[in-house]
Chains A and B, each alone.
Chain A
Amino acid sequence: MAELECSEVSQGTENARLISSPGRRTFLKGVAGAGAAVSLMSRNAWADGEIGFWAKDLPKDKLTEMFNTIVRIRWYERTMVDKMITDPKFRGYNHFYPGQEAVATGVCAALNNKGSFDQLDVVYSTHRPSGHAIAKGVDMKKMAAEYDFRATGLNGGYAGEMHIADPSCGFMGADGMIGPGPVIATGSAFAFRARGSKQVSVNFGGDGTYATPAFHGALNNAALLKLPFIYVIENNLYHQYAHYSYSCPMKDIADAARTYRIPGVVVDGQDVFQVYNAAKTAVDRARAGEGPTLIEAKTYRYYNHWGAPGAKAGQLGAFGYDPLAITSFRPEREVRAWMQRDPVDICRNTLVNWGVLTRAQADEIEAAAKQEAIDASAWADQQPFCKPEDGLKHVFVEGAVLARQFG
């Protein structure tokens, strides 16, 4: 990821960056930014010719698993979109992730997602959690049931989409708020450091999180305390219904890292291997006690902020006017242009090109993922509804609170 224009960066005493200019140069800048991360992490490795393209070391089964994860996310979400549009009995309120699959997959592929709780790396997610959850290892069937508020769903029907959580695989939870997540994630990182653990805490956040005071609080303290913390900004260009130019004065949010003297990496969020490379560098750095990294993945969501306005069953993406957007909405050509760089296609083509998969094998994996999502959705439909009075439970660890709605 760092072969272009990297010498200028790696020789700098600070996290030096190239001057921004439009077009290809902007991309080069991103690549160089990734180089900066490497240079800060270990100059010796860099000098020894370590270029940071860590995907080179991955065995075939791991690469195949990354493709599998991408298509599982894609088809889970497409199945949910179709369900939302065609099944009047489905009650979920989803924020769809397609277009961004390579980010969750690439980051989580660099994490420890299995084993005992005191060994797992943890992930804090957003109001758009499906991709992060699946990439971290959350059970798809239970998720599907939770999205329709079933008693046997992942969180017993208390969570819905925006609050799903499964600490048993280090998925600490979705969050409907913009701001507090990254701060809480640094708290977990603080605990890891305090108890001498090699665990890493990752926060996913959108471009909208840049504007929150929490952005500063999280990175400032993580940098000061050298916490094993990785802040992954998924810059999909829009926070809720506004373009990120409404809330961030820089084109690259990763530029903010300079302030904290930590690596700020811009990465192509449509290419899972580029994301993996950046994440692996950041994870190694965090585990080595060298502190946090800010990764900005340039990406795009194929659907609107919330729900399925503009989407059609069986069709990928949502187009046209979102009535909720009113004053600021996405041009359809922008959506279609981004879809030309689809993370599923890029991953598939790369692996075919590398000789890891044949097209037929890739198609087989994708078909199986689609079937898994359909089965999960069907299983969810068979699950029992919640008992009303159970709403009084889980307020405290013990017991239940009193009903107060009756006279």
Chain B
Amino acid sequence: MARKSFMYAVLEAVQYEMRKDPNMIWIFELTPPVASTPGMPVINLEKEFGRKRVVNTGIDEMWMAGCVLGAGLAGSKAVTYIPYQGNGMVFQMLQNHAGKLRSMTGGKASMPVVFILEMTGQTPGFAGQHSDYEIDTYYAHIPGLKTVIPSNPKDAKGMMAAAIRDPNPVVFLWADGLREMMEEVPNEQYETPLDKAALRTTGSDITIVGSGGGMPEVLKATEQLQQQGMKVDTIDLRVLKQMDTETLVKSVQKTKRLLTVDQSYYTLCPGAEVIARCAENVDGARFKRIAFPDAPPPAAPEMFLWMRPNAGHIVAAAKKMVG
């Protein structure tokens, strides 16, 4: 056990699998597979495994995604890290190929591959193309792709190990705003399931559901609400496809109030799916979602930070529902 960043925790999982499997490959651009943390050895996949297996490519994300898909079809485990600037460029490879090939081949195609798709750090000032947070919706919509979105280093490590071992193509959404997050993470390899949401706090007044980069604000709001005496079931989705309906429904059956929180745009945000599933299965509940407005994120911090859901928004919305 040691304190590790998101990056360190994930690379630790990858390093373990690459040492075990000499065929496994890693493709990247811009973001080198390098991480360090106090008291632990530096991880540098490029140095350790060489440029035959670990390659820094040109700026061609479609090729990166296609490359790992082809490697998978040929029988090798493969992972690519697509930086946020390119996370839309790979859409065709995932939507029309990785997501459909298993079905189209009648179960013959094998794709033990992981597409790490970085979502931006939502840094105010980067504007539009560099501060959006929308691909959770896009990629979760595609059948045939397991789409996960860890919100802390510990889950990220376990889900990466599970994703690499999973025989299906996995989209591993990487909320870059969590890059600096540090926490205690076990040194040994372990798996975190790719089909389970996590109940972070339990309570009977309201269910609050968030995911990925939005979780720190959701947890902050939960704490404030608890201090004010509210009993909150806080759920970290962790998995968008296939979504853990059971955990969600069970909670809402108890609380009868569901508030979803998304950094993604309002229309078709993951929370919309959460609400739909609960509405189908729970009678007499109240629902509310808060999300980023249906607008590209503007550069100016005054506008951007006002638009992005934060703990204050969540607390106010929860009190309105419970009060």
Verify A149–B299 contact, CB threshold 8 A.
yes
Q: Which of A97-105, A155-163, A267-275 contacts B (4 or more CB under 8 A)?
A: A155-163
Verify A158–B299 contact, CB threshold 8 A.
yes
Q: Which of B106-114, B194-202, B236-244, B301-309 contacts A (4 or more CB under 8 A)?
A: B301-309
Contact (A162, B56) CB under 8 Å given A387-B302, A405-B309, A407-B321: no
Verify A210–B130 contact, CB threshold 8 A.
no
By CB atoms of chain B within 10 A, which of A162, A387, A401, A405 has the most? A405
| Chain B residue nearest in CB terms to A325 | B32
A396 → chain B, closest Cβ, in Å?
A: 10
Q: List the A side residues contacting B89 at CB < 8 Å.
A: 179
Q: Which of A23-31, A128-136, A226-234, A241-249 contacts B (4 or more CB under 8 A)?
A: A241-249
Verify B299–A157 contact, CB threshold 8 A.
yes
Q: List the B side residues contacting A163 at CB < 8 Å.
A: 127-129, 299
Verify A211–B316 contact, CB threshold 8 A.
no
Q: List the A side residues contacting B295 at CB < 8 Å.
A: 391-392, 395, 401
Verify B303–A386 contact, CB threshold 8 A.
yes
Residues of chain B in range 113-172 having any CB-CB distance to chain A below 8 Å: 123-130
A174 → chain B, closest Cβ, in Å?
A: 10
Verify B293–A401 contact, CB threshold 8 A.
yes
Which residue of B44, B293, B299, B316 is within 8 Å of A404 (Cβ)? B293
Question: Does A406 count as interface, using CB distance less than 8 angstroms?
Answer: yes
Verify A162–B130 contact, CB threshold 8 A.
yes
Interface string of A150-174 (1 = CB under 8 A from B): 1100000111101100000000000
Which residue of A176, A385, A404, A407 is within 8 Å of B300 (Cβ)? A385
Main secondary structure of the interface of B (DSSP, over half): mixed
Verify A177–B300 contact, CB threshold 8 A.
no
Q: List the A side residues contacting B306 at CB < 8 Å.
A: 388-389, 391, 405
Which residue of B57, B59, B130, B301 is within 8 Å of A91 (Cβ)? B301
Question: Does B294 count as interface, using CB distance less than 8 angstroms?
Answer: yes
Distance of A247 Cα from B28 Cα, bound (Å): 12
Verify A407–B57 contact, CB threshold 8 A.
no
Distance of A404 Cα from B302 Cα, bound (Å): 16
Q: Which of B12-20, B71-79, B173-181, B284-292 contacts A (4 or more CB under 8 A)?
A: B284-292
Q: List the A side residues contacting B316 at CB < 8 Å.
A: 406-407
Distance of A404 Cα from B314 Cα, bound (Å): 12
Which residue of A178, A213, A403, A407 is within 8 Å of B293 (Cβ)? A403
Question: Does B230 count as interface, using CB distance less than 8 angstroms?
Answer: no
Q: List the B side residues contacting A404 at CB < 8 Å.
A: 266, 289-294
Residues of chain A in range 11-26 having any CB-CB distance to chain B below 8 Å: none
Which residue of B57, B294, B300 is within 8 Å of A157 (Cβ)? B300
| Chain A residue nearest in CB terms to B128 | A163
Q: List the B side residues contacting A387 at CB < 8 Å.
A: 302-303
Verify A247–B58 contact, CB threshold 8 A.
yes
A179 → chain B, closest Cβ, in Å?
A: 7
By CB atoms of chain B within 10 A, which of A210, A385, A392 has the most? A392
Verify A395–B302 contact, CB threshold 8 A.
no
B192 → chain A, closest Cβ, in Å?
A: 28
| Chain B residue nearest in CB terms to A241 | B30
Contact (A327, B303) CB under 8 Å given A392-B293, A405-B292: no
Distance of A162 Cα from B292 Cα, bound (Å): 22
Which residue of A150, A176, A248 is within 8 Å of B128 (Cβ)? A176
Question: Does A52 count as interface, using CB distance less than 8 angstroms?
Answer: no
Interface string of B308-322 (1 = CB under 8 A from A): 111001101110110
Verify A158–B293 contact, CB threshold 8 A.
no
Question: Does B273 count as interface, using CB distance less than 8 angstroms?
Answer: no
Q: List the A side residues contacting B314 at CB < 8 Å.
A: 407
By CB atoms of chain B within 10 A, which of A92, A149, A210 has the most? A149
Which A-B residue pairs are the 9 nearest by beta carbons? A407-B317, A247-B58, A211-B58, A391-B303, A388-B306, A160-B299, A157-B300, A149-B300, A404-B266
**Contact residues of B with A, CB < 8 Å?**
29-30, 32, 34, 44, 46, 56-60, 62-63, 85-86, 89, 123-130, 259, 266, 288-310, 313-314, 316-318, 320-321
**Contact residues of A with B, CB < 8 Å?**
91-93, 149-151, 157-160, 162-163, 175-179, 208-213, 239-242, 246-248, 326-328, 385-392, 395, 401-407
